[in-house]
A and B are shown apart, each in its own frame.
Chain A
């Protein structure tokens, strides 16, 4: 089966050549939910923006690679055709529903905007009501302004607008990060149900491993613009292979454990200060001067690590 979304060798760079995403390959099948995880600054959001063809600041561009949606390479589409894909074939949900809704427009106008942008202008009130119903909101919510809605309701409005035209792919960028824990579960459940009911492919971007475990079929772990490990969600949680993945999983709070969670030393390097070789090697307990600091590890068998064998026993055991 051909993938719904097929990203191959994607590189996103700033105008001065510094790369935010490098040589990223990732596929999402119909009906599949793929998690893209990593710390802040790892390039997850840039990957999402590259798929949409919208960057939040000028000077950022896709410099290499393909982004195929149902076989069409989005990166080579002219701007007008690209706009036709946004909202119609790809829906996007953002992190903070408060700032991603126009404060002066009603919920209904936001959803109506999605229809109107793609030339659907008949029976709009009924369509808006149906879109609201699909996210468990009453039709009366259409007349509400964002400040009259709760955080969870706002996110539901954004999801309704993103799914209004029945896209094939939904990109959700940290959809629950800005919400209360009690509301998070409801939103995740909604996304799961929508994906199942519509056969939607979902690219879920998050730093929250709990969200990944609950929602995803497959996970790709990103570090400093590159994917370092990719696996089935159960396999990844059961047996993380990359030292970075192992560190991430060890830093999750575990109420059953007395000791404080593990904290990986260091942080993600800035786009202008990427280390040579494996980008993780300055933080890696197993790193060797050669090859780790000298050459980029190839991505093979779902893993990009020179020290895969040594890591099998747990990279951080001594730490």
Chain B
């Protein structure tokens, strides 16, 4: 079967999956104690008829199945709903924040992929050597550290004590510098959160790359390539990297969900105005429409990441049927 047909079929399969996710999310949140009206009104003693009116306005007086049906109906038309807490359409809230999250996760994933693969290959070249032992130890340590704790350490060290880098936000509040100065200013804000988020994935990718590369370097086809006179550098690029790639891509793809979860924590610690921060705030405010929209987006991203992983795997290895 062609790759295009495969991709289309997988996309088709994603529709019922995402529908089930949407239903499950809605039911879970509806079943949880507390409701948006009490969160909106707060501890302030509101008159019962006011509370009843708000409930009516937001359609919360209806039984759950009716609300679910209405939610799914809106969803089908691409309407993500209205945020009680922010008094704005969810779609515009999410759109506003999406860029910041893509910048943070994209940077972290890009850096982690490049650095992780490079470290893994370098470690595998001299398995058991000094660099290999350093990479393995460093990877274990980095993997064990949660990003929110690491983020707070970074803030303490580089923002509070050393005062080198800003600790909050994705840029200066007012008057960003023009041209290159502005880009550098932006990078200064990006450095700490991106590093805090990337470290786990550098460790993860370095470990899987090293493990696969060590295996491939022992393969008989590598001996045959050496017998043809191929240099070690070419062998790493042409044979080892290519044969390690499916495993590395699979690990990256299957961790897409964890990367987004990590991003939510990192955004919260660094005051980064992204989707993760929005999710955190919407949970605190019982802002159900925003929560549901973000959870669905995360699920869609995970499904999409796995699809891309599988398609790339098939592109790299034609034996996968």
Interface residues of A (CB under 8 A from B): 52, 54, 56, 83-88, 91-92, 94, 96, 99-105, 109, 113-114, 116-118, 145, 147-148, 158, 161-162
Chain A residue contacts of B239, Cβ below 8 A: 102, 105
Chain B residue contacts of A101, Cβ below 8 A: 221, 224
Q: Is the CB of A117 within 8 A of B228?
A: yes
Q: Is the CB of A100 within 8 A of B231?
A: no
Chain A residue contacts of B242, Cβ below 8 A: 102, 104-105
C-alpha spacing A117/B228, complex, angstroms: 7
Chain A residue contacts of B215, Cβ below 8 A: none
Chain A residue contacts of B243, Cβ below 8 A: 102-104
Chain A residue contacts of B316, Cβ below 8 A: 104
Q: Is the CB of B228 within 8 A of A114?
A: yes
Q: Is the CB of A94 within 8 A of B224?
A: yes
Q: Is the CB of A102 within 8 A of B231?
A: no
1/0 per position for B199-238, CB-CB distance to A under 8 A? Answer: 0000000000000000000011101111111110010001
Chain A residue contacts of B223, Cβ below 8 A: 54, 56, 94, 100
Chain A residue contacts of B79, Cβ below 8 A: none
Chain A residue contacts of B225, Cβ below 8 A: 102, 113
The chain A residue with its CB closest to the CB of B319 is A147
A258 CB to nearest B CB, Å: 41
Q: Is the CB of B221 within 8 A of A92?
A: no
Q: Is the CB of B229 within 8 A of A100?
A: no
Q: Is the CB of A86 within 8 A of B317?
A: no
Residue from the list B219, B227, B231 in contact with A99, Cβ < 8 A: B219
Is B87 positioned at the interface, with any CB of A under 8 Å from its CB?
no
User: Top 7 closest A-B pairs, CB basis?
Assistant: A87-B229, A117-B229, A87-B228, A100-B224, A92-B227, A86-B229, A99-B220
The chain A residue with its CB closest to the CB of B229 is A87
C-alpha spacing A116/B233, complex, angstroms: 13
B250 CB to nearest A CB, Å: 15
Q: Is the CB of A96 within 8 A of B220?
A: yes
Q: Is the CB of B229 within 8 A of A84?
A: yes
Chain B residue contacts of A102, Cβ below 8 A: 219, 221, 225, 238-239, 242-243
Is B77 positioned at the interface, with any CB of A under 8 Å from its CB?
no
A288 CB to nearest B CB, Å: 43
Beyond A102-B239, A104-B317, A105-B239, is A113–B220 a contact (Cβ under 8 Å)? no
If A54-B223, A86-B227 are given as contacts, then 6 extra A-B residue pairs at C-beta distance below 8 Å, sorted by A number, are A84-B229, A100-B220, A104-B243, A145-B319, A148-B318, A162-B227
Chain B interface size, as a band, is: 20 to 34
Chain A residue contacts of B234, Cβ below 8 A: 113, 116-117
The chain A residue with its CB closest to the CB of B224 is A100
C-alpha spacing A116/B239, complex, angstroms: 14
Residue from the list B226, B229, B318 in contact with A88, Cβ < 8 A: B229
Sampled A-B contacts (26; CB under 8 Å)? A54-B226, A56-B220, A84-B229, A88-B229, A91-B227, A94-B224, A94-B227, A99-B221, A100-B220, A100-B221, A100-B223, A100-B224, A102-B221, A103-B319, A104-B242, A104-B316, A105-B238, A109-B238, A113-B228, A114-B228, A114-B229, A116-B230, A117-B229, A117-B234, A145-B319, A161-B228
Task: Name the residue in B219, B220, B226, B229 with the highest tally of chain A Cβ atoms < 10 Å from its Cβ.
Answer: B229
Chain A residue contacts of B228, Cβ below 8 A: 86-87, 113-114, 117, 161-162
C-alpha spacing A117/B225, complex, angstroms: 9
A214 CB to nearest B CB, Å: 25
Name B224-281 residues within 8 Å CB distance of A.
Answer: 224-231, 234, 238-239, 242-243
Chain A residue contacts of B221, Cβ below 8 A: 99-103
A204 CB to nearest B CB, Å: 16
B309 CB to nearest A CB, Å: 16
C-alpha spacing A113/B221, complex, angstroms: 12
B128 CB to nearest A CB, Å: 9
Residue from the list B220, B227, B317 in contact with A52, Cβ < 8 A: B227
Chain A residue contacts of B226, Cβ below 8 A: 54, 86
C-alpha spacing A99/B231, complex, angstroms: 20
C-alpha spacing A83/B234, complex, angstroms: 13
1/0 per position for B100-112, CB-CB distance to A under 8 A? Answer: 0000000000000
The chain A residue with its CB closest to the CB of B242 is A104
The chain A residue with its CB closest to the CB of B234 is A117
Beyond A99-B221, A147-B318, is A113–B238 a contact (Cβ under 8 Å)? yes
The chain B residue with its CB closest to the CB of A119 is B229
Beyond A101-B221, A102-B243, is A87–B319 a contact (Cβ under 8 Å)? no
Beyond A94-B220, A102-B243, A105-B238, is A83–B227 a contact (Cβ under 8 Å)? no
The chain B residue with its CB closest to the CB of A83 is B229
A103 CB to nearest B CB, Å: 6
C-alpha spacing A116/B318, complex, angstroms: 24
Chain B residue contacts of A145, Cβ below 8 A: 318-319
C-alpha spacing A88/B223, complex, angstroms: 16
Chain B residue contacts of A91, Cβ below 8 A: 227
Beyond A101-B221, A147-B318, is A54–B230 a contact (Cβ under 8 Å)? no
Residue from the list B219, B230, B318 in contact with A117, Cβ < 8 A: B230
Chain B residue contacts of A83, Cβ below 8 A: 229, 231
Name B302-321 residues within 8 Å CB distance of A.
Answer: 316-319
Chain A residue contacts of B238, Cβ below 8 A: 102, 105, 109, 113
Chain A residue contacts of B230, Cβ below 8 A: 87, 113, 116-117
C-alpha spacing A92/B238, complex, angstroms: 20
C-alpha spacing A242/B58, complex, angstroms: 100
A131 CB to nearest B CB, Å: 12
B219 CB to nearest A CB, Å: 7
